[in-house]
Structure 1
């Protein structure tokens, strides 16, 4: 089994999470509704993040994200202090000037089966 790498860079302050819960609801004729979680991993998180700095600071972040190609999961401690598995998508590097750049990216919850 491949070893999961850890993303250890800190984003700009103030990221806002989008936390969703996947539920199934059955509405009955008498007004009663039965709601249950859909599957074993009902919560998902998306974190839009921004990293700004000198080019030599941002390029290793960009290299890490590109190496995982939106497919391979990695470990990351989110701003709430929770360690989890995530995948990166919507990677957008921006050149600010000759020495500075930024990268915006969205981290989304990833799931994997435990070895048996």
Structure 2
């Protein structure tokens, strides 16, 4: 199966968390030695929020269901770096009706760095 690309626009101002995996050894005299852990020592988590009518939210849910939390997909971060990501959990919130009387929903999900498809 070819990798799919996630292209749905999210709400503005997502904040990504960048984490480096580091091994540390603390010595008795206060000295601490650190070294990077592994080839892929940086990971990213991006909490994303999407709003819209049920059709839009259901399209996004369908994408996540096809990937079942473990299959990677391509996604471009807000600072224009393309990478592989997974989404293990998401939450859907009913937000009431908009000014036209149409029911609106919010979907919150976290994208996590994946290092293989």
Structures share fold, TM-score greater than 0.5: yes
Name the TM-score, length of structure 1 as normaliser.
0.87
Structure 2: gaps spanning 5 or more residues: 97-101
Runs of 4+ in 1 over 3 A off after TM superposition: 27-33
Match of 1:109 in 2: 113
The answer for the alignment partner of 1:7 in structure 2 is 6
Q: TM-score, normalised by structure 2?
A: 0.86
1:100 pairs, out of 73, 98, 104, with: 104
The residue number in structure 2 matching 1:84 is 83
Indicate whether 1:24 and 2:28 are aligned.
Answer: no
Distance across 1 between alignment mates of 2:56 and 2:24? 47
Which segment drifts farther, 87-96 or 3-12? Answer: 87-96
Secondary structure in 1 aligned to 2:89?
strand
How many Å separate the matches in 2 of 1:63 and 1:102? 15
1:31 deviation in Å? 4.6
Shift of 1:26: 2.5
The number of residue pairs the alignment matches comes to 112
Residues in 2 aligned to 1:58 and 1:44: alpha-carbon distance in whole angstroms: 27
| Superposed CA RMSD | 1.6
